Amino acid sequence: MQNENTSAPAETQTRDKRANSGFTQWVTVPASLGHLHEVREIPNSDPPAFSVRISVPQGRGEYIKYANLDLIIDSASALALLLKHSAQINQKETKVTLSFEYYNPFPDAYLLKNPDGSFKTDKQGNPEQRAVIRGKLSRIAYLKVGNQVVYGKGKPENAVKSESVTPLREKAETKSARSSRKTA
Its pTM stands at: 0.65
pLDDT of residue 80: 93
What is the Cα–Cα distance from 143 to 115, expressed in whole angstroms? 30
Residues of the chain below pLDDT 50: 1-21, 156-176, 179-180
Q: Quick count: other Cβ atoms within 10 Å of Cβ 108?
A: 15
Nearest by Cα to 100 from 131, 63, 72: 72
pLDDT of residue 3: 44
What is the Cα–Cα distance from 78 to 84, expressed in whole angstroms? 10
What is the tens place of the pLDDT at every residue in 62-88? Answer: 899 988 999 999 989 999 999 999 999
Cis peptide before 47 (omega within 30 of 0): yes
- The C-alpha torsion from 70 through 74 and 78 to 84, rounded to 10°, is 80
| Secondary structure (3-state) at 158 | helix
What is each CA distance from 140 to 6, 30, 73, 160, 165, in whole angstroms? Answer: 41, 11, 10, 9, 13
String of DSSP letters for 33-50: EEEEEEEEEPTT-SS--E
pLDDT of residue 69: 92
